[in-house]
Each structure stands twice: as structure tokens, then as C-alpha cells.
Structure 1
Amino acid sequence: MSDNREVTLRFLAEPGDQNFGGKVHGGAVMRWIDLAAYACSAGWSGKYCITAYVGGIRFMKPILVGSLVEVKASVIYTGRTSMHLSIDVNARDPKREDGHKTTHCIVIMVAVDEDGKPAEVPEWKPTTERDIYLRDYALRLAKMRTEINDEMSQTLAKLDGEA
């Protein structure tokens, strides 16, 4: 396990990442988020990790092709086999200092062993006021996910019964 619970990927947004509107495609941003989440969770746990959940993704501002992009992943809560990560994507013109947040989401990664079964991860303990807030944020979102999953299950069961 690494003592560092954060990873930042930095690169230039390329023309191949462009959508029909000339900005970076949301799917490209989601791929970058998944890469950063894997690098962070694998580094924290020392194990191969799989994506279990991506939620609350907020696309706040577009990313222009040629922008310097930073994707920062941080462990904000650990379960027995899972790691909740806060992901922030920032972008800026590489010739300038001023950047802006473009995207935010939460990703849950699960560590797995050689047989693909969930494996225990080291516990992350918040120490600062900010870390405690982020841990509590992850726990509040987990509660909301349970409510959303229940609602979706009920709706899908009803709609499938009508088919």
C-alpha cells in the first residue's frame, strides 16, 4: 500500500478526443476518470481493482482540444474491499496559469485477488477537517445511492411486469 492516497494524471486533450461540437467528448472525460480511479485505487490497495460505481458525474465546463488536463483522484473512504474516490477534472490553456474545474464525480473501486474475488484493502483514516468532511460526503452519498437503487428496482420491476 502506498502512503499517498492521491493520483493526478496530466496530459493534453488531443484532436481525437473531440466531439461533433468541437469540444472534448464526455466519453473521453469518463475514460480519463476511470484511468485515474484505477491508478489511485491500485496504488492505495496494492491490488488489481475494478470499477463498481461511477456516480454524480457533473460536467460543469467544456474542455477545449489542446488544453492541459489534470484528473485528480483521492481516496475519501474505504470499506472492507472498496475504496470511494473523489475525482476532479481541471483544464487550462497550457500557456496560462488560470484553470477551471470541468468535471466532478465519485467512483467506487473494488480490490480483487488473483481469482477475481473481492480482497481486503487498507483502511484510510481521515485526519484533517477537510478529510473528515470528504469521508462524511462519501457516506451521505452511499445512503442516497441505496435509496436510488431501491426506487429504480421498484420502477424496473413495475415496467418489466407491464411488458
Structure 2
Amino acid sequence: MNAPQRDVTLRFLAEPQDVNFGGKVHGGAVMKWIDLAAYACAAGWSGRYCVTAYAGGIRFVAPIHVGSLVEVEAKVIYTGNSSIHIALEVNACDPKSLNRRLTTHCIVIMVAVDQNGQSESVPQWDPQTEADKKQHASAIKLMEMRKQIGEEMQIFVD
């Protein structure tokens, strides 16, 4: 078996059909690209089909213009029994200059599932570098915060 792939980068050009009424790439298009990169990363890590369980902390830092070269970078920062926590960063630039700038970042949690939709175990990721260890610790803090937020959000779903 090949070693799991921890990260992936998708690259493409932002197209006219991705534009919103303000003339910039629509946030929904960016979120779709994030989901695609998260899936590719999770599948590469686990060797299994994965589904999105959570997407959060999304920050739209700067707009993306039509014709921009877009890079969506996804990287495993924590693994549970069946979950894979992925940090994503979206950068864009004019393809003629290649001066990349951060446009969006977030966290997505994917879950590996079998053909019946039941969760399956995934290979565990162990942080090696100091940067990895910081991201791993941050992922654990974010899990605790999501639990609190989930409890607070119950008022909107009852």
C-alpha cells in the first residue's frame, strides 16, 4: 500500500460562470472548490470515499477576479477514528504576474464512509514538525469550540 497523501493543491482559472452580481467570483463557487479540494485530500489520506461533515471558520479575505489563477491548498491537520480535519487556503493571482494573495481560508471535516454510508476508520496522522504540532493542537481546540457552538445553535433548530 502506498503511504497516505497528506496534502493536495487544485489549480484552475476562475471562469465567467463563477461571477456574482458584483463582478467577482461568487462565494458559493469558492466554497465548492474548497469542498472538492477537501474531498481530494481526505480520499488521498484515507484511501476511501469521504463525505463532508463540517465546514467552518470560512473567511473571505479578498475577492477573486475572473481570469485569476486559483490555487486551493488542502492539508490534513488532525484525524479521529473516521474523521479527517483539513485546513484549506485559497490563493489567487493574475496568471501573468503570479503574485499570489490569500483570498479565503477555513477548516473542513470529512468522514470516511463505506458503500452503505457507515463510517470507516482512517489512518492516524501524527504531527512531526513544530508547525504540525501547533496546527494539531489548534484542531483540538476548535473541536471543543464547535461543541459549545453546536449547543448554542440548538435554539435555532428546535
Q: Report the structure number with the largest CA radius of gyration.
A: 1
**Structure 1 unpaired stretches of 5+:** none
Structure 2: 5+ residue stretches without partners: none
Check conservation: 1:60, 1:103, Cα contact below 8 A: yes
- Aligned partner of 2:132 in structure 1 is 131
Tell me the SS of whatever aligns to 2:40: helix
- Cα distance in 2 between the residues matched to 1:40 and 1:134: 16
Is the partner of 2:148 in helix, strand or coil?
helix
Partner residue of 1:96?
97
Q: Which residue of 2 aligns with 1:53?
A: 54
| 4+ long deviations beyond 4 Å | none
Provide the secondary structure at the position in 1 that maps to 2:135: helix
For 2:28, the equivalent position in structure 1 comes to 27
1:55-75 deviations in whole A, cap 9, x for unaligned?
Answer: 000000000000000000000
Shift of 1:97: 2.5
What displacement does 1:93 show? Answer: 0.3
Question: What does the per-residue CA deviation read over 1:61-95, in whole Å, with 9 as the maximum and x for residues that have no partner?
Answer: 00000000000000000000000000000000000
Task: Indicate the RMSD between aligned Cα atoms, in angstroms.
Answer: 1.1
Q: How many residues align?
A: 157
- The 8 Å contact of residues 4 and 46 in structure 2, kept in 1 or not, is answered as no
Aligned to 1:80: 81
TM-score computed with the length of structure 1 as normaliser = 0.93
Q: Work out the percentage of aligned pairs sharing the same amino acid.
A: 62
Q: Is the 8 A contact 1:17 1:25 kept in 2?
A: yes
TM-score w.r.t. length of structure 2 = 0.96
